[in-house]
Amino acid sequence: MDLTPKRASDSATEMVQVVLPNDTNPLGFILGGTVMHLIDIAGAIACHRHTRTLLVTAAVDDLQFLHSIKVGDLIILRSRVTCVFTTSLEVQVDVFSEETLTGRRQRTSRAFLTFVAIARDGARVRVPKLLVETDEERRVCEEAQTRRAARLQRRLEVSQSEV
């Protein structure tokens, strides 16, 4: 296992695809579930590039859809690792729409996901540290630690709630 620390830029990912009729609701807007699927994929790719391990999605923070993305437009997803813990890491995924005829771009969502690195037998795997080099990267990682504390508290509450 190569635990050489990496920069966020080493794993940052951009995915672009055109919204096709099969991805849309009767109004011609992309389905929320399709956007969520793409967010999961974009987040996973950045985390795979950082860890080079198998991963599972452990948590997706609350998600907002600020604007619709219509059939024929582009959906752009940018993911970057924000902070690395021991066997888990957080990734930020920003989603944009781009009108194909005008190039007008709008941010439509921002999501934070947590992935856990696992081996084939399900054992947790340590992940390479993140090289944090700028003040902005330091701030982003500190904010991720605050989100992680809230997330783990929420996990406790969900796991203790009645069936």
Binding site for ligand COA (CB under 6 A): 56-59, 85-88, 114, 116, 124, 151-152, 155
Our CB check for ligand COA shows the closer of 104 and 155 to be: 155
Q: How far apart are CA 19 and CA 68, in angstroms?
A: 11
- Beta-bridge partner residues of 83: 90
CB of 159 to ligand COA, least distance (A): 9
CB of 60 to ligand COA, least distance (A): 9
User: What contacts 139, CB < 8 A, 6 or more positions away?
Assistant: none
CB of 125 to ligand COA, least distance (A): 9
- In this structure, what is the dihedral angle of CA atoms 63, 16, 13, 82, given to the nearest 10 degrees? -20
Using only C-alpha atoms, what is the Rg of the chain?
A: 17
Our CB check for ligand COA shows the closer of 37 and 105 to be: 37
Our CB check for ligand COA shows the closer of 88 and 109 to be: 88
